[in-house]
Structure 1
Amino acid sequence: MEPNRTYFRSLGSGILLLLFAGCATAEIEEISFPSRGKLVFTSAKSKEGSRFLEEVRRIEDKGTSYSGEFEIRIQNFVPKKDVFSLNGKIYYDKPTGKMQIELTDRLFGISVSKVYTDGEQIRIKTAAQEKIHEQPMDDILLSDPNGGKRTIVPFPVIYYLLSSQNARLFQPNSTLVQPKEGIILVRKAGEEWTYYVTERGVATVEWNSSRKNVKAVTSVQGEVEFPPKVTLTRIVSREDSSDQNRIEIKMKKTNRIESISPSVFGF
């Protein structure tokens, strides 16, 4: 069985190409896109909207720093259906918002790449390349190295869920809310983000980008907690809703602590 490998290729400012190759595992569960129906939303600037967002911030503020180990599985659908997986370690420091992810070969336990972000910038270092790639917090392109199919992955969604800092994105001028249904709608140029919130925090995030011609949904599986034990992401085409990729991140263990040593971050 051939070991998993991860490769990164720069595509210019704001986007990085991430390629996976490795051995196949079981298919990833399909999750559905939520339906908002014909709900009426109110401005985040309103008294009701402001109060609702403040409650969401209060819930997210309960999160702590943590370290942990996880497994990430990625399923490609084009040009052929394949599932690949890697093990990883994650470090998140709540006071600074810094997060570092280390991906390792499942068979040999060798580090193949490190991803660092402070919530604004992303830095990536792979074992195969000495040069460190830097880009603003933005999407990552996922590619099948065999067929070359590329699909955008909403990396910011994953970061904000794993750091419980979604509320940073709820700017009053671009945010609408539906407090009774626990829904937050954020609109930007060419993009729309919909957050579905429970009394324990954000459970599902939907991303719809006309600029990039993709839709994606990320959903916490089981009880909403921090950090989430299992998250599933599904990326589809806006044209025909055909599946492009699915991603599963499953936490194996976590250690909640007050802060992470600064020496942990960096390459």
Structure 2
Amino acid sequence: MRTNYFTRIFAFGSLFCFILFFQSCVTTDIEEVNFRQKGKIKFWSAKSKEGSKYLEGLRKLEESNTSYSGEFDIRIQNFFPKKDVFSLAGKIFYDKPTGKMQIELTDKLFGISVSKVFSDGQTIRIKTVSVDKIHEQTMDDIVLSDPSTGKQTVVPFPVIYYLLSNRNAELFKPQWTLVQPNDGIVLVRKPGEEWTYYTAENGIRSVEWDSSGKNVKAVTSVQGEVEFPPKTTITRIVSRTDGADQNRIEIKMKKVSRTDKLNQIVFGF
């Protein structure tokens, strides 16, 4: 009888510890990444000798990348109207020659597909499990939903796409690009928005996006070593008005298979 009593106590204690551990995993805040302060920096035009040489080096670095497929975990933290965190599992397929990227998100508890997102760098197509019709839009923000609560989160998809595909050089048009080679900074000023790239020896370290039209700023930062695709990225979205956090997104790659040629059958719904 005494043995059974201690067995029940041990089982209850184990269950209680598991619940606490599970809750801590679910509710742990995503790390805050900061926006850099550029200060007073002299930039060169992309058309200048210094600027064009630096951008050519970035293009060659991107050309050395390959197509890949992989599995990842994604956590999304919302701050309004209240702070909460939800997580999903994901698969990603990226074809370098065409720029095609497809992401499939699944419920981690039941393994059920929640949504698929496809992009060729110009347009985005989204198929969710709850809607039969495929949503199509230009390259812009997308909305992801927590499968358990239905809460929606706005995701700055272009920022994530360009970092996970490393096709940033195609945005560096001479008419709107400035370069600071010594500090490894590329500044792209387009109507209504500004992109700032901070580079490292092996590629892009972080990307900042400032949109006056949408009144938001976002930063996506590679955590740890810069490699392709990055193992861990954190995206932070804040209001331009008061700097208040709106969302944070953490993507952790679990497995990556690089290949020169990806079977096109993986793309599509």
Deviates more, 1:140-149 or 1:34-43: 140-149
Matched residues in 2 for 1:151 and 1:238: separation? 18
Matched residues, number: 245
Select the structure that is richer in strand.
1
SS at match of 1:212: coil
Q: Does the Cα contact within 8 Å between 2:35 and 2:219 map onto a contact in 1?
A: yes
Q: Which residue identity is paired with 1:210?
A: S
Query: Which of 213, 238, 241 is 1:239 aligned to?
Result: 241
Q: Which residue identity is paired with 1:221?
A: Q
Do structure 1's residue 153 and structure 2's residue 152 form an aligned pair? no
Query: Which of 67, 70, 75 is 1:68 aligned to?
Result: 70
Matched residues in 2 for 1:150 and 1:203: separation? 28
Matched residues in 1 for 2:152 and 2:189: separation? 25
Query: Which of 100, 103, 126 is 2:102 aligned to?
Result: 100
Matched residues in 2 for 1:150 and 1:207: separation? 21
Render the CA deviation track for 1:175-198: whole Å, top value 9, x for unaligned.
Answer: 000011000000011111100011
The aligned residue for residue 130 of structure 1 is 132
Q: Does the Cα contact within 8 Å between 1:201 and 1:224 map onto a contact in 2?
A: yes
Q: 1:115 and 1:183, CA in 2 relative to 1: closer, same or farther beyond 3 A?
A: same
Q: Does the Cα contact within 8 Å between 2:208 and 2:217 map onto a contact in 1?
A: yes
Q: Which residue identity is paired with 1:61?
A: E
Deviates more, 1:137-146 or 1:176-185: 137-146
Q: Does the Cα contact within 8 Å between 1:78 and 1:149 map onto a contact in 2?
A: no
Matched residues in 2 for 1:232 and 1:220: separation? 7
Q: Does the Cα contact within 8 Å between 2:86 and 2:146 map onto a contact in 1?
A: no
Select the structure that is richer in helix.
2
Render the CA deviation track for 1:181-221: whole Å, top value 9, x for unaligned.
Answer: 00000001111110001110011001111111011110000
Render the CA deviation track for 1:229-250: whole Å, top value 9, x for unaligned.
Answer: 0000111111111111100000
1:25 to partner: Cα distance: 3.2
Q: 1:155 and 1:87, CA in 2 relative to 1: closer, same or farther beyond 3 A?
A: same
Q: Which residue identity is paired with 2:168?
A: N
Alignment map for 1:212-223 (pairs within 5 Å): 212-223=214-225
Matched residues in 2 for 1:223 and 1:260: separation? 25
Q: Does the Cα contact within 8 Å between 2:126 and 2:136 map onto a contact in 1?
A: yes
Identity value in percent: 71
The aligned residue for residue 18 of structure 1 is none
SS at match of 1:52: helix
The aligned residue for residue 86 of structure 2 is 84
Query: Which of 34, 54, 57 is 1:55 aligned to?
Result: 57
Q: Does the Cα contact within 8 Å between 2:188 and 2:195 map onto a contact in 1?
A: yes
Q: 1:262 and 1:142, CA in 2 relative to 1: closer, same or farther beyond 3 A?
A: closer
Render the CA deviation track for 1:1-50: whole Å, top value 9, x for unaligned.
Answer: xxxxxxxxxxxxxxxxxxxxxx9431100011011110011100111100
Q: Does the Cα contact within 8 Å between 2:114 and 2:147 map onto a contact in 1?
A: no
The aligned residue for residue 172 of structure 1 is 174
Tell me which structure has the larger Cα radius of gyration: 2
Q: Which residue identity is paired with 1:99?
A: M
Matched residues in 2 for 1:191 and 1:252: separation? 33
Matched residues in 1 for 2:41 and 2:61: separation? 24
Matched residues in 1 for 2:73 and 2:237: separation? 19
* Higher RCO (C-alpha under 8 Å, 6+ residues apart): 1
**Taking structure 2 as the reference length, what is the TM-score of the superposition?**
0.87
Query: Which of 111, 124, 127 is 2:113 aligned to?
Result: 111
Q: 1:149 and 1:265, CA in 2 relative to 1: closer, same or farther beyond 3 A?
A: closer
